[in-house]
Amino acid sequence: MDDETPRSIDTVAVTEGEAPFETGSEAGDVVSPIHLSSTFALPGLDTEMRLEDVDPDAGEFVYGRLSNPTRHTLETRLAALEGGAYGAAFASGTAAIFTTLLSVVEPGDHLVAFEDLYAGTRRMLDDVFVSRLDIDVTYVDATDTENVAAALRPETTMVWMESPTNPKLALCDIGGIAELVADRDAVFGVDNTFASPYFQRPLDLGADVVVHSTTKYLNGHSDAVAGAVVTDDDTLAEELRFLQQVGVGGVSSPFDSYLVTRGIKTLAARMERHETNALAVAEFLESRPEVTAVYYPGLESHPDHALAREQMSGFGGILSFELDGDIDDAKRFLEALSEFTLAVSVGGVESLIELPAGMTHEPLSPAEREALGISDTLIRASVGIEGTADLLADLERGFDAMAKRSPASSD
């Protein structure tokens, strides 16, 4: 192996950007220290200094919002994980998405988005970009690339996708959409939160920019709210850097940056285990008479299974399923579980479960939920890394509780 051979993502996740003696410590810390200082002493007065020229790679720092050594370590690692030149860490996935959209669109522009988006992103688009910034948004069923093609207009400056989506785990053809966008003056962004860079790298497939809620798999331990943006596009990077550091300022704190950097070290090991458990749970659910549908890209029954095999290197740890019953059955099922915690969010080592209609997707109107196929008995699970048998036994407990209907509801 020569020096040109790229390091595997497993290795990048453990060490990229974190070299003893090179990350702001004289002591040779193997782990990048948490730099809490909000400001940095300058070696002398340089009246010619321009903030854009301050180079964190060369150990230059001025003020904590602009850059910080702990955040810089994380940003270097994020860029390498997604195979991009520029990485930026934010205070939340929402801040990362907002800043990315704002760095592209201007009043009067048009944006095409997957209709099955994270509900918070959809609200941001509707209630901020459409209502206040005069951006026109068209939502499409992007599982068919033709629908994306048909929605594009001369004034379309951005195409925004998630794949797999939340909560139905639908996929869009990232490479196919990238080709559509490539010959236009538009930017193609992908929210890669559900797959993580371990299983999918949108920039390699042709996307211009990729974002994450690093709150989820990248941190992986449900103890930090954070976000990331990675791109290879220099013009976009310049605009993003300006908005991250000056125009919006929603940066990741030093402590959260440390936590996410630490979490990323085990990304490969965690993702493998999430996937093994999720496949076992999905197959178990498919075998149950109480379940009418299971949505997991790793199942052959999933409509986008072939595409998942092509554009992903694994299927991830999130699935959703439809219970045969009503909302009371769903309540009995969910409340009987003890290994799966009833909570929103995904991507942590512990298994979480929720009812999108009443929790994550409650902000959508009933009509919007119906159009997206989010029924009152659709359940989303983020399968953790616990013992597989314990998780299956827990779900069995839920089905037992469903069977014990109260006399009033048993007819």
In the complex, what is the shortest distance from the CB of residue 92 to ligand PLP, in angstroms, rounded to a whole number? Answer: 3
| DSSP conformational letter for 209 | E
Residue choice 167, 197, 227, 348 for contact with ligand PLP (CB under 6 A): 227
How buried is residue 244: exposed, middle or buried, by Cβ count under 10 Å (0-12/13-18/19+)? buried
Q: Kindly state whether residue 225 participates in binding ligand PLP, applying the rule CB under 6 A.
A: yes
Q: Is the dihedral of CA 215, 218, 220, 221 positive or negative?
A: negative
In the complex, what is the shortest distance from the CB of residue 57 to ligand PLP, in angstroms, rounded to a whole number? Answer: 27
Instruction: Measure the CA–CA gap between 233 and 222, rounded to whole angstroms.
Output: 31
Instruction: Measure the CA–CA gap between 304 and 296, rounded to whole angstroms.
Output: 9
Q: Kindly state whether residue 213 participates in binding ligand PLP, applying the rule CB under 6 A.
A: yes
Residue choice 166, 219, 252, 257 for contact with ligand PLP (CB under 6 A): 166
Q: Between 269 and 343, whose beta carbon lies closer to ligand PLP?
A: 343
Q: Kindly state whether residue 163 participates in binding ligand PLP, applying the rule CB under 6 A.
A: no
In the complex, what is the shortest distance from the CB of residue 126 to ligand PLP, in angstroms, rounded to a whole number? Answer: 15
Q: Could you count the other beta carbons within 10 Å of the beta carbon of residue 65? A: 15
Q: Between 99 and 166, whose beta carbon lies closer to ligand PLP?
A: 166
**Cα torsion at 330, 331, 332, 336 (round to 10°)?**
110
Q: Kindly state whether residue 120 participates in binding ligand PLP, applying the rule CB under 6 A.
A: yes
In the complex, what is the shortest distance from the CB of residue 197 to ligand PLP, in angstroms, rounded to a whole number? Answer: 14
Q: Between 118 and 139, whose beta carbon lies closer to ligand PLP?
A: 118
Residue choice 99, 100, 103, 215 for contact with ligand PLP (CB under 6 A): 215
Instruction: Measure the CA–CA gap between 219 and 187, rounded to whole angstroms.
Output: 27
Q: Which residue is nearest to ligand PLP (CB)?
A: 93
Considering only the stretches 39-47, 114-122, 146-154, 196-204, report the one whose residues sit in contact with ligand PLP under the rule CB under 6 A: 114-122
Residues recognised as catalytic: 65, 118, 191, 216
In the complex, what is the shortest distance from the CB of residue 237 to ligand PLP, in angstroms, rounded to a whole number? Answer: 21
Q: Is the peptide bond before 289 cis (omega within 30 degrees of 0)?
A: no
Q: Which two tokens stand for residue 224?
A: 């930090």
Q: Between 363 and 387, whose beta carbon lies closer to ligand PLP?
A: 363
In the complex, what is the shortest distance from the CB of residue 345 to ligand PLP, in angstroms, rounded to a whole number? Answer: 6
x-or-dash pattern for ligand PLP, window 172-201, by CB under 6 A?
Answer: -------------------x-xx-------
Compute the chain's Rg from CA coordinates.
22
* Residue in 207, 200, 255, 254 with CA at minimum distance from that of residue 230: 207
Residues 34-93 that bind ligand PLP (CB under 6 A): 92-93
- Asked whether 109 and 269 are in contact (CB, 8 A), the reply is no
| DSSP conformational letter for 161 | E
* Residue in 103, 237, 223 with CA at minimum distance from that of residue 158: 103
Size of the site for ligand PLP (CB under 6 A): 16
In the complex, what is the shortest distance from the CB of residue 121 to ligand PLP, in angstroms, rounded to a whole number? Answer: 6
Q: Is the peptide bond before 356 cis (omega within 30 degrees of 0)?
A: no
Residues written for the chain: 411
Residue choice 94, 320, 375, 377 for contact with ligand PLP (CB under 6 A): 94
Q: Between 120 and 373, whose beta carbon lies closer to ligand PLP?
A: 120
How buried is residue 113: exposed, middle or buried, by Cβ count under 10 Å (0-12/13-18/19+)? buried
Interacting residue ranges for ligand PLP, rule: CB under 6 A: 92-94, 118, 120-121, 162, 166, 191, 193-194, 213, 215, 225, 227, 345
